[in-house]
Amino acid sequence: MKAIEQSCIAIIVFSENYASSQWCLEEVAKIMECKEQTYLTVLPVFYKVDPREVRGGRKSYGKALSKHESKFRKDLEKVKRWKKALFDAGSLSGWHLSDGDESELIQRIVKEISTHLDRSPLHVAKHPVGIDSRVVKLEWMLNLKAQDNVVMVGLWGQGGIGKTTLAKALYNTIFRQFEGSCLLANVREASKDSKGLVLLQEKLLSEILILQQRLEVSSVDKGINLIQHRLRHKKILLILDDVDDLCQLNALASEGKWFGGGSKIIITTRDKHLLTCHGINQDHIYEVKALDDSEAHELLSKHAFPTQPKLEIGTDLVDGVLNLTKGLPLALEKLSRVPNSKINDVLKISYDGLEENEKEIFLDIACFFKGKNSEYVEKVLDSCDLEAIIGLEILMERSLIRIGFTIEMHDLIQFMGMEIVNQECRDDPDKRSRLWRHDDVFNVLSGGVGDCAVKAIVLELPEPTKMCIGLDAFTKMRRLRLLILCNVHDTFQGPLCLPDELRWFEWPGCARGIPEFSSSPKKLVGLDMPKSSIAVVPKQFKVSISLLTELILAWNNITSLPTSINKHGRLSLLHVQSCHQLKEIPELPPLLNFLLADGCESLQKTGGLTSFHNFVPRGLAMANISPPDQQNTGRYMICLPGEEIPRWVLPIEDDSVFFMASKELYGKFLGFVLCAVLNSNRIWLEYFIPSKLWGVVDFGQTDGGYAQFSLRVSGGIVKKWGFRIICKQLEDDLEVVLEDNELIDPALLYEVAHESTDSEA
């Protein structure tokens, strides 16, 4: 029995008197048990006996089994097990010999077994570092013991991360547990040709069925039918490597029911969305991650110094290579020899498969925004007429970026993106879409520019640097949509004029004034010019920049803002912090969400911004209205100079406030107002809609249907604070309930029907 357990092929020779032997019946039962539980291939030979006699218990088999039933009356389960084994084995495809040539049959059997033994392992890698632990995780995910269901698993990760290597190693570990196995390599590349999918279908069928001659498939549809018909009862292992299109999966493994129970289908891809669209749930998607530092160091050493494994390598050299490759196996292999353009070619495959929107976003991140705050990047990209949310999601699914608080990208992927831009025109930066190097930006801005292809310039220098910017440098850049200059001092004394297509403009610290605008409408969405020497905001501001949503002029010398600023219907953020000479804030735009004006000591008029009749209506408006193409923040916040809490806000003596409310009362709440007097004589006043502060409230967890609410303010910068609940007019019976249960201080509630006057400010 041990020999059966250790075998990979079992040949059962059924003869006329086979069933009369208890030992033979025990062996066939053990063989069929191993077939179900492990990787045993079973090949039956029916020697001068009809297969129907074996599986149906007829003639000599029926007589023998009747005798066994009489003998084992007290253990009929044993006989039932034998019968089942005979039925299962007799149902298998094998050889039937009645009166033919026995030697010819033996030759056929030898040839068939040789074919099965030719199913050899695949070459994995010269140095398979870090593979074993990952294979163990995948074996668990595949649930190899489950024999009923077909399991599909996706291996997802960026190019060069080792998906194919891992798939091959997994194949070698488990392929003998299946009746047939096949790895279709480079599906993406192989299916480009018009007959590519047909050839892949032919290879799949030939390898799994172990056919001696090529099986011809006339069309993809015919191939689908053949796969379903020939493989639906076979337990198979199929690996589809480097898939990038659903049509490939639909042609090769559209559904689990195409294959027999216990089959395992493994798909490697760079596109996570492809796997989810194919119906593979998150629990069956394995993200292939980079090698850790110790694994990367080991792999580098084995590739770079194969004959001298104990050679001491300079720490700086090793650290430099490891820092560049970031645990990417392909890069470690190539860079251990010489820098190789093949790395770029492999990584660029993911870029080539992107739509135009995602390509633009990818290049912007590679050239400008790696490591930047993700919310900031999304805002800038949106301003440039790009679909940022969906684009970033797709780049993340394609393993080109990672998104957390910041947007991260592998150094080699970033280099690939920069190289794409450089290859647009190596000799002439005017002909490139993006500029980020000092020399390229200097050449374009200081010289005469004809037809300029530049879409974006982001120059962030480590220290202030002088640069002569030509009078018409920007106006000739008709395609320019993004301009960010940090630590750039313009030595030209004349006015600068921005191009009409510009969407986002940042020039902190060095500008002498806001650039001029032509009379034609501008498309500018964000203007960020803090810590400069700006004294005047141009009067034509309202005419030129009607799309403006963000205006940052903090730490400047402005004395006033134009009254026309309230005409900017889309302006949601105004930042004039520490403009020490600013004397007045005029009427604000209707949809402004955030006003930062602390540190403006000269302010004499604020338009009653902290009064109830000004602040609360704005807060209520923010709860229901958002600027076009912008997400509703559900908040309204201002920060102004001051030391006193407005009289209509209830001062809170402790560092927290606590109350309980019924669902009925909570439904009356319109918003919450939080006010804090901070160090440096600043008042922070903020309005929240209920869902922004406490999210979805469950009123079923406490007796009587009440929910508990609390708010704590802590930190050394808060000198005193207050709180108020803005609510609808309460009915008389609800007011009585409030007085009776004492679960909330009625003073916290401010009904919007109350009269408010300027004296309340």
Q: Which residues are catalytic?
A: 27
Q: What is the Cα–Cα distance from 94 to 437, expressed in whole angstroms?
A: 71
Q: What is the Cα–Cα distance from 200 to 357, expressed in whole angstroms?
A: 32
Which helix or strand (DSSP H or E) is residue 485 part of? strand 482-490
Q: What is the Cα–Cα distance from 608 to 672, expressed in whole angstroms?
A: 19
Alpha helices (H) in 398-467, listed in sequence order: 411-422, 438-446
Q: What is the Cα–Cα distance from 609 to 686, expressed in whole angstroms?
A: 12
Q: Kindly give, in sequence order, each residue whose CB lies less than 8 Å from that of residue 390, ignoring residues fewer than 6 positions away.
A: 357
Structural tokens at position 683: 């008042």
Q: Kindly give, in sequence order, each residue whose CB lies less than 8 Å from that of residue 693, ignoring residues fewer than 6 positions away.
A: 672, 711
Q: What is the Cα–Cα distance from 152 to 625, expressed in whole angstroms?
A: 46
Q: What is the Cα–Cα distance from 325 to 184, expressed in whole angstroms?
A: 28
Other Cβ atoms less than 10 A from the Cβ of 53: the count is: 20
Q: What is the Cα–Cα distance from 141 to 151, expressed in whole angstroms?
A: 9
Other Cβ atoms less than 10 A from the Cβ of 267: the count is: 28
Q: What is the Cα–Cα distance from 177 to 401, expressed in whole angstroms?
A: 37
Instruction: Quote the Cα angle for 136-141-147, to 5°.
Output: 110
Q: State whether residue 471 is helix, strand or coil.
A: coil
Q: State whether residue 644 is helix, strand or coil.
A: coil
Closest to 411 in 3D by CA, of 331, 352, 346: 331
Provide the 8-state DSSP code for 124. -
Dihedral angle at the C-alpha atoms of 612, 614, 618, 620, nearest 10 degrees? 30
Exposed/middle/buried for 86, CB within 10 Å: 0-12, 13-18, 19+? buried
Q: What is the Cα–Cα distance from 387 to 384, expressed in whole angstroms?
A: 9
Q: State whether residue 452 is helix, strand or coil.
A: coil
Q: Kindly give, in sequence order, each residue whose CB lies less than 8 Å from that of residue 140, ignoring residues fewer than 6 positions away.
A: none
Which helix or strand (DSSP H or E) is residue 26 part of? helix 22-37
Closest to 178 in 3D by CA, of 42, 41, 85, 43: 41
